[in-house]
Amino acid sequence: MLAAPPKAARVSTILVFAIHAAVFGAWTPHIPAVKDHLGLNDGTLGLVLLGAPVGSVIAMLVTGRAIAKWGSKRVVLATFLAFALVTPALGVAPTAPWLFAIIVVWGGFIGSLDVAMNTQAISVESAYGRPILSSFHAWWSLGAFAGVGLGALAITFGVGLRDQMIAFTLALLLVAWPLIRPMLGDDQAAEEHKLGLPWRDKRVLVLAVIMFAGLIAEGAVGDWAAVYLRDTLDVPAERAGLGYGVFAVAMFLGRVGGDGWVAKFGPARVVGVLAAVGGLTFGVALLVGQFWLVLVGFAVFGLGIACIVPVVFSSAAAQSDAHAGQAIAGVATAGWAGFLLGPPLIGLLSHATSLPLALGVLPLCCLGIALAAGSLRPAV
């Protein structure tokens, strides 16, 4: 008789995905105010945001070994608590160098928790015996939308970033152990999920590039949508978070429906067509520069890149000569690097040109994804 699937572990992991995204999402509407408070231009803000990939790369080198030694459940708990404790520091940085240092630490714990919770999700999926990874990422998107809403609501009622994040910290510390306790603790496969870029397998390397490009776009929208709407289109601060909000909702809906679309049309066609349509629509919206059209552009763009992460994970597991967990860890590392490098890249390009032109890189990423989508294969 087959063992019952670990439903409690699945729910627990889904909630951690959602909370991880919600805290990040709640930070994004406050970025324009932080920029003004510290007197930063777009280029300086981009350099400050570069602290996140610096911290995450350093942390990832340690996280893989920690998961191999202690299992993903313990590492999820440790990084969840650290992530919660560091979060309020974002609202107290007095200067740009201090904010950079805080974001380095915060980014490190964001990356570590991301790796640990994805490793736990892989273990839960293995116990289920069927693909369910897309559902975790769908809930991440929903959590991001909820976080943006909370951040925008806080701004509307005059709640600053520091007080908002202190409230988050208190809530996370209260729920940490009850939330994580149901996770799978006997993570025997953790040794096989150590992080590493997939340079030795050319097929997985192509998938890593697709993931990198897709998450450059996702990360850039997260940090720059509000700045673009406020500074370029003169949208009020309380509405500036709508860009990332509609993007996140569309991404959630795309991930909810993604498994069915892939089963019907195949992964290459789904990712290629969606990326092409999303990139084209967003590019046109940037050229026109009207608020409501830009919101449509963000929404279609979110749908356009929604299926990249779960499809690339599945394709890597199907194509790699290595263990599926190693392939997934490799493309996840590339994706997280893109997610965190996207915002500073846009900031530096914006400083050299303009923010609309810098955001034009994102449709180009989608074009590259559409052209490379033929390398995607269904999971075996």
Alpha-carbon torsion (281, 287, 291, 292), positive or negative: negative
Ramachandran region, residue 324 (left: φ > 0; alpha: ψ -120 to 50; beta: rest): alpha
On the question of pLDDT at 242 being above 90, the answer is no
Average pLDDT over residues 182-209: 65
Going by C-alpha positions, the residue among 36, 18, 163 that lies closest to residue 96 is 36
Band the pLDDT of 241: cuts 50, 70, 90. confident
Q: Is residue 380 part of a domain?
A: no
The answer to whether residue 235 sits within a structural domain is yes
- Read off the pLDDT band of 190 (50, 70, 90): very low
pLDDT at position 345 over 60: yes
Helices 291-304 and 267-288 pack at an angle, to 10 degrees, of: 160
When divided into structural domains, the chain yields a total of: 1
- Domain enclosing residue 295, as ranges: 7-375
Q: Which of 276, 273, 226, 231 is nearest to 247 (CA)?
A: 226
- The alpha helices in the chain, defined as continuous H runs, are 7-27, 31-38, 42-49, 51-70, 72-86, 96-128, 133-156, 161-180, 202-227, 242-265, 267-288, 291-304, 308-319, 324-352, 355-359, 361-372
- 295 is written with which tokens? 């919101």
- For residues 330 and 235, the model is more confident at 235
Q: Does position 378 have pLDDT exceeding 80, yes or no?
A: no
Mean pLDDT value across residues 266-291: 93
Residue 69 resides in a domain:
yes
In a domain, 2, yes or no: no
103 in any annotated domain:
yes
Confidence of residue 191 (pLDDT cuts 50, 70, 90): very low
Q: Indicate which CATH number applies to the domain containing 263.
A: 1.20.1250.20
Q: Confidence band (pLDDT; 50, 70, 90) for 262? A: confident
**Least confident residue range of 105-119, 327-341, 364-378:** 327-341
More confident: 119 or 156: 156
What is the reported pLDDT for 189?
44
Total-model pTM: 0.77
What pLDDT is stored for residue 43 in this prediction?
77
pLDDT of residue 311: 84
Poorest-pLDDT segment among 112-121, 200-209, 323-332: 323-332
pLDDT at position 196:
46
Domain-embedded: residue 165: yes
In a domain, 1, yes or no: no
SS3 of residue 271 by DSSP: helix
Does residue 353 lie in a domain region? yes
pLDDT on residue 324 = 46
Q: What is the mean pLDDT of the chain?
A: 84
pLDDT band at 193 (very low <50, low <70, confident <90, very high): very low
81 pLDDT above the threshold of 80: yes
Q: What is the mean pLDDT of residues 365-380?
A: 84
Q: What is the dihedral of CA 62, 65, 66, 67, to 10 degrees?
A: 120
Give percent of the chain above pLDDT 70: 89
Q: What is the mean pLDDT of residues 146-156?
A: 89
